[in-house]
Amino acid sequence: MSEFSDLTIYFNGDFIPWDEGRIHCFTPAVKYGAAVFEGIRGYWNDEQEKMYLFRLQEHMVRMEISQRISRFGEVIPAQQMCDATIELIRRNNFTGSVHIRPTVYVDGIGESSARGPLGCFITAIQRGTAKSVETGVRAQVSSWQRIADNMMPARAKANSNYGNARLAAVQAKQDGYDAAIFLNSRGKVSEGQAMCLFIVRDGKVVTPTITSDILESITRDTVITLLHDQGYEVQEREMDRSEFFLASEAFFCGSGAEIVPLINVDGEMIGKGEPGPVTREIQTIYFDVAMGRVEDTRGWLTEV
Ligand code: PMP
């Protein structure tokens, strides 16, 4: 029993009670972390009394990519997972914003080279916006290095990759920071733990490239698109750690994290040490789009 016991989950084709979602201890998913997942937001629009799932299709397509990179023997298709998600949201009758977590995992009794059989499940829980979106966070450049593409490809949203993020997150908390920033094996800035990042330098917005050992973040893509709409120049390029000292502002982004101002790195203030104007502008536009308060010109929203 837990606070989520009243919820319904999707589990291998069925809709079942939360407490019945079980995986065997001998599966490769448990033994080796052989699984891939997504984190998706659904925004409840109070005025319209509707739920909008943000970029559902793109997340499920990325989960197909994660399955291929992880060499699963087959791929559970995006459409199946989208349809199941929509039905799951309907069945739970949420009246608040949600966080949705679909997973595809290697089931059965295999060893580490097993490529199947596959199982899948989807959970959805009510979750609002964290206070840090308003206040901003203080981060540490981690002494843990980001996993490299020829070790554990960060481009796949594979559960096993999160051992790396976890070590950095635990260290940052132990050292009194809110979040960690990874450098990659080439010593360049990569991303936060479960968040991509941007800085503003001389009025231009800079973010590490998709070959900087980042997850190809959907929120990063959203932010770049929205910044272009506003007329900003966005540079996707290699980024040095020392550039944090030259930035006038910085922010993290991710589906779960949303847009989080980064106000201090390694004890040094970024800009004035408070959320900056570009960060505030992009936050406002992001939430207007994601919550269905403005017209959805790009087909990013799925109404439930
Ligand atoms: N990097 C990592 C490692 C992540 O786990 C996430 C969260 N999915 C992100 C970046 C942000 O990605 P997205 O915007 O697609 O949620």
Q: Contact at 8 Å (CB) between 127 and 114?
A: no
Q: Active-site residue numbers?
A: 157
Overall average pLDDT of the 67-95 stretch: 98
User: Which residues neighbour 213 within 8 Å (Cβ) at sequence distance 6 or greater?
Assistant: 146, 147, 148, 149, 154, 182, 184, 185, 190, 191
Q: Is 189 found in the same domain as 101? A: no
pLDDT tens, 8-43?
A: 999 999 999 999 999 999 999 999 999 999 999 999
CATH number, domain with residue 50: 3.30.470.10
pLDDT the model gives residue 281 = 98
Residue type, 46: D
Q: How far is CA 168 from the centre of its chain?
A: 16
Confirm if 253 and 217 have CB atoms less than 8 A apart. yes
Residue 3 forms part of a structural domain: no
What backbone phi and psi angles, to 5 degrees, belong to 188?
Answer: -95, 155
Q: Is residue 296 part of a domain?
A: no
Q: Is 115 helix (H, G, I), strand (E, B) or coil?
A: coil
Mutation choice for ligand 1 from 99, 164, 195, CB with most ligand atoms inside 8 A: 195
Kindly tell me the burial class for residue 131, based on how many C-beta atoms sit within 10 Å of its own C-beta (0-12, 13-18, 19 or more).
exposed
Question: Within this chain, do residues 45 and 153 fall inside the same structural domain, yes or no?
Answer: no
Q: Does 298 reside within a domain? A: no
Ligand 1: atom nearest CA of 161 is 3
User: Structural domain of residue 40, as residue ranges?
Assistant: 8-126
| pTM over 0.95, yes/no | yes
Whether 1 shows a pLDDT value over 90: the answer reads no
Which atom, in ligand 1's list, is nearest to the CA of 191? 1
Q: What is the CATH number of the domain that holds 282?
A: 3.20.10.10
How many separate domains does the chain show? 2
Q: Whose CA is nearest to atom 2 of ligand 1?
A: 194
196 lines ligand 1 (CB under 6 A): yes
Tell me how far the alpha carbon of residue 39 lies from the centroid of ligand 1, in angstroms. Answer: 8
Average pLDDT over residues 169-194: 97
Average pLDDT over residues 66-85: 98
In tens, the pLDDT along 143-181 reads: 999 999 999 999 999 999 999 999 999 999 999 999 999
Same-domain status, 248 and 117: no
Task: Verify that 77 and 199 share a domain, yes or no.
Answer: no
Q: Are residues 139 and 112 in the same domain?
A: no
Boundary of a domain, candidates 126, 151, 183: 126
Q: Domain check: are 136 and 184 in the same one?
A: yes
Question: Do 154 and 268 have their domain in common?
Answer: yes
Q: Are residues 234 and 154 in the same domain?
A: yes
Contact 247/218 with Cβ under 8 angstroms? no
Give me the mean pLDDT over the 280-297 stretch. 97
Strands (DSSP E) contained in 220-273 are 234-236, 249-254, 258-265, 268-269
Write the residue with the smallest CA distance to atom 3 of ligand 1: 194
Q: What percent of the chain has pLDDT over 70?
A: 100
CA-closest residue to ligand 1 atom 12: 217
Predicted pLDDT of residue 57: 98
Please check whether residues 280 and 176 belong to one and the same domain: yes
Tell whether 38 is covered by a domain.
Answer: yes
Residue 206, domain member (yes or no): yes
The reply to whether 2 falls in a domain is: no
CB of 194 within 6 A of ligand 1: the answer is yes
Choosing from 126, 149, 170, the residue where a domain stops is: 126
**Ligand 1 lined by 223 (C-beta under 6 Å):** no
Residue 299 falls inside a structural domain: no
pLDDT tens profile 6-17 = 999 999 999 999
Looking at 126, 153, 172, which one is the last position of a domain?
126
Domain contains 165: yes
Do 196 and 236 belong to one domain? yes
| Ligand 1 atom at minimal distance to the Cα of residue 218 | 15
128 and 138 Cβ atoms separated by less than 8 Å = no
Q: Comparing C-alpha atoms, which of 204, 169, 192, 213 is closest to residue 261? A: 192
- Is the domain of 44 the same as that of 163? no
Q: Is 215 in the pocket of ligand 1 (CB under 6 A)?
A: yes
The pLDDT of residue 249 is 98
pLDDT given for residue 93 in this prediction? 95
